[in-house]
Structure 1
Amino acid sequence: MLENLKKEFLQPLEEFTPIPFWFWNDYLTEEELDRQMLAFKEKGVDGFVIHPRLGLPEEIGYLTDTYFHYVRYAVKRASQLHMKVVLYDEAMYPSGSCHGQVVRENPAFASRGLRMSARESAEEGELLIAAVKREGKTWYFWEGPSGGTIRGVHYGEDDGEAGAPASADLMNPEAVALFLQLTHERYYQELKEYFGNTIIGIFTDEPNILGRCSKEGMIAWSGNFLEDFYRQGGNEQDLYLLFADTDSSEGRRAGERYKRAVYERMSRAYYRQIADWCAAHGVAMTGHPEKSTDIGYLQHFTIPCQDIVWRYVAPEEEKAITGEHSTMGKCSSDSARHRGKRRNGNECFGCCGAPEDPYRFTMEDMKWYLDWLFVRGVNMIFPHAFYYSLRDRRKEERPPEVGMHSSFWEDYHIASDYIKRMCGLLTDSVNQAKAAVLCRSEKLSWEIAKPLFENQIEFNYLEEELLPSCRIENGCVLIRQQRYPVVITDGKDTPETRDFLRRLEESGGTVLVWNAALTAQKIREAVKPAETFLPPARDLRCTCLRKEGTEFLFLVNEGENSVTTNLRLEDGHICQIWDAWNGTIKQLELPVQEMKLSLGQRESLILVTDRGE
């Protein structure tokens, strides 16, 4: 089995190709589409996302016959070149409005919100849903159009511009059904012979309930949503708390009920409808929700994803391991591993240029982001973006360009091969994490994760929602192929979760409650990692993978300086060193239990171990 893995490592498979967002942002010709696709193929890029983008001329209107002339050409040519295509479901983003066509067909399907006012006077299109007496006053709650928009694909349709397309009511199942009819069904009618072979998926992108540039002071709402709120335990008095008091325990409880109601409605109206459509038509539902911590929504995706954008994650200022965005890599990979999904992805590099120069993005920068994703288990890469054109203003739209116009395009095959090797190794492997960190559908604790990362204690986020499908056996939580003898919680558990954790402890497992007294050393003593690193190296990241009977340690230097430490295996030996960036394998003359590690800036390493099993 190891020989097969070595062969795939040295000759990486096309299946694990990067699949870049290909910005169709100018006048299109068959000749230029063909030229660029051949250039992609030459550099080892064996797939792409067709992404209509700002700069597309009005003569090539979205979903028009002219537009589909070029889509059909690109998909047919991709089939001939043995490339894969992911369709994008919007023009431009966020998803759900079909470039404003949903609202043009039915104005009642415009995105909606709720506002609180001390005045008993409605704005145009608003409905009074409640009047609440609080703090000696009567407060009125008005449901109405949010005024939200999306970013369009033609000039004059960007944020704040008069032509920006109207966003749709994504919590209205009828509006979403119309979106599917206008968008997905049209793609299927035009390209059905390619669905499930050349076309492997449809990408939905950060659906925003209120839409962009919505009216101030509104929260997400929809028709009959008050009933959903009540079903979660909310009441009219809670409406006031949603706007005026979010810090008290009463206000937090109201907020939790509201968030749960939104989660249930969005899951039912938007995500589940799209997932069902994709499944029925033989393609994967892929893409990502609006927030980096929205792990609950990912259950609906065939290929769950997140997106690194705006340098929210970066080498500087501890952004790699602090803040909610630092959880997104584990968000998608842990959702996938616990729900039996083979792949998970990331739309990466968007607006991640140098702080002082947004256009500057080097191969070394790309490798840092790739390693950040790989060591967290992400095994599908959607680079953002390859620009069809940089003409005029087009180069200014969400740089950097990371494709054929970049400074490193000549050497891009190195990055393509690296992506293929790492995604291939990560796919169908099982990480050997012994600790589960409990999380909720929209809340992943980076505070708990930070010291675990810094001390090379591997963990996975485990959704409380999944606990009923877990088994407890011999002191371990079992789910899919994972076994967790240790569970870490923030202590804000539901009664059902507390009962589960009690049964785990009775079975011999360990439950740790996160607080100031819980040190990394105490966690390490409970987890008993199979690897020890001395002296500690806070910028070193480590994941232990098992695939086809072989165990691998993937090590990444996530810092800006070299890392030097000593690695000791508690059992077993290190036999080989694999370098995925250069595509080399080194057999050690003698297996070793201890090894001095020295990783320079942006370096990573794979160690093949023999645990003697």
Structure 2
Amino acid sequence: MRQIDKEFKNPGAEHRAKPFWSWNGELTTEELMRQIDVLEDMGFGGFFMHSRTGLQTEYLGEDWFRLTNECADEAKKRGLEAWLYDEDRWPSGIAGGRVTKNPAYRMRSLRMQVLQGGSVPAGEENLVAAFACRLENEVDLYDCEQLKPGDKTDKTLLLMRSVEMEKDPNYNGYTYVDTMNPEATQYYIELTHEQYKEKCGKRLGDSILGIFTDEPHRGTLMDAFGTGGDLARIPWSARIPEEFKKRFGYDLIPHLAEIYYKPEGRSVAQVKQHFVELCEQLFLESFMEPLNKWCNENNMIFTGHVLHEDCLTAQTVMNGSMMRNYEHMTYPGIDILSGYNKCYWVAKQIESAARQTGKKVLLSELYGCSGWQMRLEDYKFAGDWQALFGINLRCPHLSWYTMEGEAKRDYPASIFFQSPWYKEYKSLEDYYARIGLVMKQGDPVCDLLVLNPIESVWCQVHIGWAENLGPKAPEIKKLEDQYTQLFYWLCEGHVDFDYGDEDFLKRMGAVEKDANGAPLLRVGQSVYKTVLVSGAVTMRSETLKLLKAFENAGGRVIFAGEKPAYLDALPVEAGTYDFGSSVAFEREPLLAKLDMAAARCDSDKIYLQMRKDGDEYYAMFLNMVEEPVETVINLPEGIVTELCCRTGKQTPVCRNADGTMKVFFQPGQEHLFRVSAKTCPDCGCKCGEESVETEKQQAQGVSLGDPIAYELDEDNVCVLDMVQYRVENGGWSDEMEILQADRRIRDILGLPYRGGSMLQPWYAKLLMREKPKEEGTAFELRFAFEAETVPSSPLCLALEHPERYSIAFNGVELDMTPDGWWVDPCFQKVHVPNNAIVTGKNTVVLKGRYCSDSGLEAMYLLGRFGVRLETRGESLPAVEKVSYAPGARHLYGGVHLLGGTSVLTELPKVLKLGSIVEQGLPCYSGKVTYKFRVPEGAGEGEISLEGFGGACVNVAGQTISFMPYKACVKANEDGTLDVQVVLTRRNTFGPLHELPIVAFAYGPDSFMTTGDHFTRGYGLIGNGLHAAPVWTACK
């Protein structure tokens, strides 16, 4: 038996995801051990121990290391993998701010000031250069001359200063680090990596496998990202002028203006390319290589990702060439933010670099910013294309240790016990573990190298070239469009390919011949038969020489569209690119020219990746669209077995006489096949009689109609998040959302705002050690809701830190003694006497003392009651105008925008089909079990669901998460069937007041919107079972 067959049903920890385990509160051994148990139950293979916003245990303190060791030891006992994370929050490199206490290690940029005439200041230490020039069209540079201090000019005056990054609480009051300074990196290693080595000892490389570096970068290149909108900045370090001259043979300073502008109106300038290249080299040499070296020397795996990969522009803005970073990581990684990101080429880039550098494990930090509304199927849609393109170490973002305070807004959702579907989640990780196992087998079937044109972006940068990490200049937009279009054409034509970075080609490229004498172009550990050049404006002279040598040896070089007009970012001489063959930049002519698909598929909506392991092939097909597709595929000759990654089953598949197979794909569905012999087995059936996964003709199904009863597995929720406040017995404020009130009080007390980038609590504690204990300032909050009827069943109030407050419902003081927790241990439940609730208006008054570490948060009234949300004078926009942000995924159950006043009602006697939001359960987020009557005499049958608003559905012990939403089940003995819809926490934890209601991505700012992006009403998603199940009896 093959080893893969032994493992396929239940792959081990190495093939399973390791989430970011967000250490974001006061850590205790007991709670950490409980959570490891949950992580294992969810199907994870380990965890990254990751400091996040809200951490109270001192980062890199004695307790931190003790708890790290305890978790690593527990992981080893369970057969799980424990991993470190190398920073307090992110980006990596500052050791929680300790590195950049030293001003010499702080990040700097070269900031340009533009004046209309004037004199050059004398005696400014940070003034690097000054120029007089004439500007046209805002970016075209003419008559530029360098000036000295004291010189005057009537022309446009450009002053360029080396400026230190502004201090920020995100870096615990300091700045990010100069990642082009090797001394800063060495100090960082001493404070972080060496401390782990000392405190964790022999665990490194054993129970602790490796360490994750997160979002390092070398500074922004003329983009508003991270600069407060200042476009006139480029990365800078004290080493740059000297290193530039050493590496390129000329002085940079006299040419600085040519980086910011277009010299003589030309888009392309060599100094631009040289400058970005230098920054890339310095970043790699000063940051990535030292970290990789330390890991190699200490038996540790180095993984993580650098900042921003989504397009060539984003890569250039923050780093340069993303592919060159991957070479310096044991397990290179990417970061795919949001649940709707479709930048498929990001995974293709890392897959290419990994193939060429011999790396078998590729990481993706995925699901970040995706929001509470994600279904299990959404997680599958977001993960499938990454698995297709080689991602086999999943790092789900994020599993919160706690939801306390600001932590609950740290880029939700929490893929952990706080989500009601966490017990159903394991099936998803089983599925991806199986795909990862299979797609590690053998080697890729790939003969095409596509020249990566990123250096054609470098040589065309200027002020205004990019906007928010995307292209703005027309010439860059054209290049980006052609880059992505080529990707789609090749994938739709089922032609596998690798990108080729020109630095890789320079250092790893060679022309060879195979055993039959056919020419090959080698790049590291990969070889290719054809090279495709498309979209490039410039090319390196070394690349040109290599491609000519390849063609002279008989290899194929194809230019699609216009040939480069530059060589080394200088205009080319006639005849420079007179080699290779040319084809129009059009899909069909290009694919016909290539004619090299590894397998055939009639549909361009199906993408394909193939592996060859000895005499066996593995082929993964994926439907990239959300509609069904039936197509014909043709695999290499041999016996075909389908490996079902959802169930772990292996099933022989028969072909038609011509070797083809008809295959049916549900929306987003995958099929994975193994081809393992040269002849078709004697299967005793007519080959090709039925398609794989075809929609077979079945008996007519019967609608089960309306549910006859329902059950909730949690108490219903009335969210209390609209409030009035007063400080020290002052006047009451207007009613506002709770987080807005928190900021108003902080304004009054002169305290900085809380938020995702606030000073870390552990660091604030260190600052407060020498100060007297705060007494705080007295404050009160007043919440209001209405009651149409007084609930007769027990009630409780869930809130954080009940010991800090006194609370009265309509004057009735509550006993603040906690009695268990709800959703997360931070939400402590206190009893609310039923006589504290009255019909009509109810007022809840909370009193406490506000200190620097305080924070106002919503409270949650829990019980067996209904809730109706009504307007009380507020004006709400039409819901259809504020439903979805651009790029956001449309939800099956739709959305609601309801009034801002909560009214308690009785629970409905029964639930109708459709959204539960306007049936008394607007903010409920647990599980809802619908009871249906099945046809008389029914025993076993197939249940089919049209769709539902929720994460997944449980029926008779089976979980239905993915299309076609069917399962074979057995009815209850009393002739009923229970259909349990597992909801998400979106309608409880929000964001509840953000417009549009469904965003493309979610983070801390999603909960603090203003203006047109804020509503006093509640924006909710349509939860529940929206159509009657269909029952088909089994014959």
Residue from 380, 384, 397 that aligns with 1:367: 380
Deviation digits for residues 456-490 of structure 1 (CA, Å, limit 9, x no counterpart): 22111122222242332223223455332111112
Q: Distance in 1 between matches of 2:540 and 2:94?
A: 37
For structure 2, the residue ranges without an aligned partner over 5 or more in a row are 135-154, 310-314, 316-321, 458-479, 563-583, 680-1035
Aligned to 2:53: 54
Match of 1:551 among 612, 617, 638: 617
1:602 is matched with which residue? 668
Q: Secondary structure at the match of 1:295?
A: helix
1:339 paired residue number: 357
The corresponding residue for 1:448 is 486
How far apart, CA to CA, are the structure 2 residues paired with 1:237 and 1:432?
A: 49
Structure 2 equivalent of residue 489 of structure 1: 533
Partner of 2:186: 177
Task: Give the Cα separation in 2 of the matches to 1:151 and 1:12.
Answer: 39
State the alpha-carbon separation in 2 of the partners of residues 284 and 247 from structure 1: 49
- Residue 284 of structure 1, CA deviation: 1.2
In the alignment, the residues of structure 2 paired with residue 98 and residue 545 of structure 1 have an alpha-carbon distance, to the nearest angstrom, of 41
**CA offset digits 1:196-237 (Å, max 9, x no partner):** 111111111111334884463321100121223333356334
Aligned partner (choices 274, 279, 282) of residue 265 of structure 1: 282
**Partner Cα distance (2:325, 2:156) in 1:** 38
**Counterpart of 1:596 in 2: which secondary structure?**
strand
Whether the 8 Å CA contact 2:52–2:88 is kept in 1: the answer is: yes
Q: Does 2:416 correspond to 1:403?
A: yes
Correspondence for 1:223 among 238, 241, 265: 238
C-alpha distance in 1 between matches for 2:182 and 2:598? 49
Q: Distance in 2 between matches of 1:203 and 1:149?
A: 23
Shift of 1:548: 4.7
CA 1:518–1:115 in 2, change beyond 3 Å: closer, same or farther? same
* Correspondence list, 1:406-421, <5 A: 406-421=419-434
- The correspondence for 1:146, drawn from 140, 148, 165, is 165
- Give the secondary-structure state (helix, strand or coil) at the position aligned to 1:350: coil
The residue aligned with 1:518 is: 585
Determine the C-alpha separation between the residues in 1 that align with 2:255 and 2:165: 21
2-structure distance, mates of 1:125, 1:347? 44
Summarize the alignment of residues 555-574 of structure 1 with structure 2, pairs less than 5 Å apart. 555-569=621-635, 571-573=636-638
The 3-state SS of whatever aligns with 1:197 is coil
User: What does residue 519 of structure 2 align with?
Assistant: 475
Aligned to 1:531: 599
Q: Which amino acid aligns with 2:90?
A: Y
C-alpha distance in 1, partners of 2:121/2:488? 48
Match of residue 296, structure 1, among 315, 324, 337? 324
Q: Report the secondary structure of 1:400's partner residue.
A: coil
Check 1:224–1:467 CA distance in 2 against 1; reply closer, same or farther (3 A cut): closer
Distance 1:540 1:110, change over 3 A: same
Q: Report the AA paired with residue 238 of structure 1.
A: H
How far is the alpha carbon of 1:103 from its aligned partner?
Answer: 1.6
CA contact (8 A) 1:554 1:606 kept: yes
The 2-side partners of 1:251 and 1:450 are apart by: 27
State the Cα RMSD in Å.
2.6
In the superposition, relative to structure 1, how do residues 595 and 380 fare at CA in structure 2: closer, same or farther (>3 Å)? same
Shift of 1:524: 3.0
* Distance in 2 between residues matched to 1:121 and 1:425, nearest whole Å: 65
Q: Deviation at 1:589? A: 5.2
Question: For the structure 1 residues 234 and 436, does the alpha-carbon distance in structure 2 shift closer, same or farther, using more than 3 Å as the test?
Answer: farther
| 1:371-386 pair list within 5 angstroms | 371-386=384-399
Q: Answer with 14-23 or 411-420: which moved more.
A: 411-420
Task: Mark the CA change 1:124 to 1:454 in structure 2 (over 3 Å): closer, same or farther.
Answer: farther
Relative to structure 1, the CA distance from residue 596 to residue 583 in structure 2 (aligned partners, 3 Å threshold; closer, same or farther) is same
The Cα shift of 1:387 comes to 1.0
- The amino acid of 1:596's aligned partner reads K
Q: Which amino acid counterpart does residue 503 of structure 1 have in structure 2?
A: A
Change (3 A) 1:248 1:181: farther
In structure 1, stretches of 5+ residues that fail to align are 153-162, 315-319, 353-357
Select the structure that is richer in helix: 1
Work out the CA distance in 2 between the residues paired with 1:505 and 1:244. Answer: 38
Q: For residues 311-355 of structure 1, what are the alpha-carbon distances to aligned partners after superposition, in whole Å with 9 as ceiling and x for unaligned?
A: 5x53xxxxx2xxxx4321112221111001121111111012xxx
Structure 2: distance between partners of 1:611 and 1:508: 33
Provide the rounded CA distance (Å) in 2 between the counterparts of 1:75 and 1:125.
Answer: 52
Alignment match of 2:111 (pick from 111, 115, 118) = 115
Shift of 1:518: 3.1
TM-score, scaled to structure 2: 0.54
Residues 512-555 of structure 1, C-alpha deviations (whole Å, 9 max, x = no match): 21328233333333242232222x32x31100112354201101
Identical amino acids, percent of aligned pairs: 24
Contact 1:149 1:213 in 2 (8 A): no
- How far apart are the structure 2 equivalents of 1:72 and 1:350? 27
Letter in 1 for 2:549: R
Q: 1:302 & 1:124 partners in 2: Cα distance? A: 48
CA contact (8 A) 1:332 1:345 kept: no
Change (3 A) 1:222 1:590: closer
Give the number of the structure with larger relative contact order, counting CA–CA contacts within 8 Å between residues 6 or more apart. 1
Give the Cα–Cα distance (whole angstroms) in 2 for the partners of residues 384 and 466 of structure 1.
Answer: 31
Q: Secondary structure at the match of 1:179?
A: helix
Q: Contact (CA 8 Å) 1:148, 1:213: kept in 2 or not?
A: no
1:16-415 alignment runs, 5 A limit: 16-57=15-56, 60-104=57-101, 106-118=102-114, 127-135=126-134, 136-147=155-166, 149=168, 151=170, 163-210=172-219, 213-214=226-227, 216=230, 217-230=232-245, 231-232=247-248, 235-245=252-262, 248-249=265-266, 251-292=268-309, 293=315, 294-311=322-339, 314=341, 320=342, 325-352=343-370, 358-415=371-428
Query: What do the CA deviations read for 1:334-386 (whole angstroms, capped 9, x no partner)?
Result: 1111001121111111012xxxxx32111111111221111111121111111
Amino acid at match of 1:146: M
Contact 2:41–2:423 (CA under 8 A) maintained in structure 1 = no
The 10-residue stretch of structure 1 (6-15 or 130-139) with the greater mean CA deviation from structure 2: 130-139
Is the partner of 1:93 in helix, strand or coil?
coil
Please say if residues 489 and 513 of structure 1, whose CA atoms lie closer than 8 Å, have aligned partners that are also in contact: yes
Amino acid at match of 1:100: G
SS at match of 1:10: coil
CA shift at 1:143, angstroms?
1.1
> Which residue of 1 is the match for residue 712 of structure 2?
none
How many Å separate the matches in 2 of 1:123 and 1:605?
Answer: 70
Q: Give the C-alpha shift of residue 594 in structure 1.
A: 0.3
C-alpha contact 1:577 1:605 (8 A) present in aligned 2? yes
CA contact (8 A) 1:45 1:416 kept: yes
- Given residue 581 of structure 1, which amino acid in structure 2 is its aligned partner? R
Residue aligned with 2:100, SS: helix
Which residue pairs with 2:495 in the alignment? 457
Are the structure 2 counterparts of residues 380 and 591 from structure 1 closer, same or farther at C-alpha, using a change threshold of 3 Å?
farther
Work out whether residues 351 and 389 of structure 2, in 8 Å CA contact, stay in contact via their aligned partners in 1. Answer: yes
Matches of 1:248 and 1:305, distance apart in 2: 39
Structure 2 letter corresponding to 1:254: V
**Counterpart-to-counterpart distance in 2, 1:167 and 1:304:** 23
Q: Are the equivalent residues in 1 in contact too, given 2:357–2:525 (CA < 8 A)?
A: no
Task: Give 2:891's aligned residue.
Answer: none
Q: In the superposition, relative to structure 1, how do residues 440 and 48 fare at CA in structure 2: closer, same or farther (>3 Å)?
A: farther
Q: Deviations over 1:363-420 (max 9, x none)?
A: 1111112211111111211111111112343221111222332243112221221222
Deviation at 1:164, TM superposition (A): 4.3
Q: Residues 252 and 563 of structure 1: is their aligned pair in 2 closer, same or farther, counting only changes over 3 Å?
A: farther
Deviation at 1:439, TM superposition (A): 1.6
Q: Which residue number in structure 2 is paired with residue 504 of structure 1?
A: 550
Question: Could you say which structure has the larger radius of gyration?
Answer: 2
Cα offset, 1:264, TM superposition: 0.8
Deviates more, 1:485-494 or 1:267-276: 485-494
Query: 1-side partners of 2:369 and 2:123: how far apart?
Result: 37
Q: Deviation per CA, 1:95-123, whole angstroms, max 9, x where unpaired?
A: 1111111122x222111110122466779
Assess if the C-alpha contact under 8 Å between 2:331 and 2:363 holds in 1: yes
CA distance in structure 1 between the aligned counterparts of 2:401 and 2:613, rounded to whole angstroms: 38
Q: CA deviation at 1:238?
A: 2.6
Q: Note the C-alpha offset of 1:195.
A: 0.6
- Preserved CA contact (<8 Å) 2:438 2:618: no
In the aligned structure 1, how far is the partner of 2:170 from the partner of 2:215?
A: 12
